[in-house]
Amino acid sequence: MADLGGAGEPPNKKIRIERTLFNRVRTLVNSHKNVLSNAIKKLSTDQWVTFCFVRILNCNGAYPCSFSRAWCETIRNIQDPTVDECERFIVKFPSIFNIALVKQFLDFSDETDDSTFSDNQLTALQRLAVFLDTLHETNTIMEKQPIKSFKESGWAAFLGTHVLSKLAVSNQMTIDCGYTDKTTTCPCGCMTPIHVGDNSMGHEAVWHGSVDILLGPVAIVSSCPETLSEVDEERSSAFEMKIGEIEESRNQVIAETIVFSFTQKSGLVPTICVTRDNMKILMYDPEFDLLYESSEIQLFEPLEGLKFNLTTVVALWLAINYSHFCTGVKPSHEKFGYTADFKRIVEKAFPIYNEGMKMGGCKHVKSTIGKYKAPENIGKFPSLDD
């Protein structure tokens, strides 16, 4: 008689392996439980990082244009005079990322079903715990060779090697090949090999260009300010962002975010912008035409040198691993209806975005973008999901 249940040993063995993985990760994470619980608590408020919606009033996305020459006239919903003040909503971090699942893991009890957590989510938690275990070593490396000594390609290589790739489930990291001073190993001296390749995307008939780092399904735009004497038309870097703060290149990052999301075709997709001091997350969903922009958050603790702020680390970790923790566009966000209006703005060029986006073979040129300052959001606006 046939065994309707199949061979018994492999399923039992699989269960034991899954429980072993879960218990191993739980042990690793528990050593940082207080720190992570505090970070999750901060991310659940409007006091650390929040998102607003962005509407595009006009742009040059319908024309052949590199990211470095991208131009957008935009308005945030929290600044829009046509929106009633009581409806100028912000979006808290837990409304986009499944922070509740992380909290559930931290508060795990015998009643919790360990099958709630996927292998990739457990692997992501393991990456975070190991990063925190070795954070002192990372800080030591940074202190021995201060990041201010790095040029743009070196900063991208260092950041990718010692921070971003360590937090990511994916181990596929590529630094853009457009740097004239590109390096094949980490500049800190650890000799970790760097994979260099073509990180360009888009279509030559519309917006196109390169991002500095591709980390699996995530685009990273990194910026490393230089002294004025080092800045001229012959800069030894392919990096497109204008020297300075993130807001100085907001137009370009919006273009990169939209193009990258169309190339991925996987819903709400982030582009992460990181300088030597701050980071910002932008996310776009082509189906709902919603563009989210986070507030800027500091990488390091104030007045403590190069000591990473652990709440920022957790936010960065969630964004990098968005494919495992992002909950997508909420019905309340869709109902709110503050769309980017990108389809309407680019009109006849929209089919190119929807059907013609490609990865590779879309290199770029340099640009100059004007400065734009974001407002403080703490306590000023209601949360859309409260």
pLDDT in tens, 314-339: 999 999 999 999 999 999 999 999 99
pLDDT at 148: 67
Over the Cα atoms of the chain, what is R_g?
21
The answer, yes or no, to whether residue 103 has pLDDT greater than 70, is yes
Please say whether the beta carbons of 212 and 200 come within 8 A.
Answer: no
Q: How confident is the model at residue 13 (pLDDT cuts 50, 70, 90)?
A: very low
Lookup: tokens for 24: 């191993």
Q: What percent of the chain has pLDDT over 70?
A: 82
Among residues 338, 242, 344, 245, the alpha carbon closest in space to that of 292 is found at 338
Please say whether the beta carbons of 336 and 95 come within 8 A.
Answer: no
pLDDT at 237: 30
pLDDT, the chain, mean: 83
pLDDT at 68: 87
Q: How confident is the model at residue 178 (pLDDT cuts 50, 70, 90)?
A: confident
- Burial class of residue 11 in the structure, from the number of CB atoms within 10 Å of its CB (0-12 exposed, 13-18 middle, 19+ buried): exposed
pLDDT at 147: 66
- Among 100-109, 123-132, 179-188, 365-374, the range scoring the smallest mean pLDDT is 365-374
pLDDT at 378: 61
pLDDT at 283: 97
Q: How confident is the model at residue 19 (pLDDT cuts 50, 70, 90)?
A: low
**Residue 146 phi/psi, 5° resolution?**
-50, 140
C-alpha separations of 345 from 58, 61, 183, 340 in Å: 6, 8, 40, 9
Highest mean pLDDT among 2-11, 141-150, 246-255, 275-284: 275-284
Average pLDDT over residues 62-85: 93
Please say whether the beta carbons of 156 and 222 come within 8 A.
Answer: yes
The answer, yes or no, to whether residue 226 has pLDDT greater than 70, is no
The model's pTM is: 0.84
The answer, yes or no, to whether residue 261 has pLDDT greater than 60, is yes
pLDDT at 363: 75
The answer, yes or no, to whether residue 1 has pLDDT greater than 60, is no
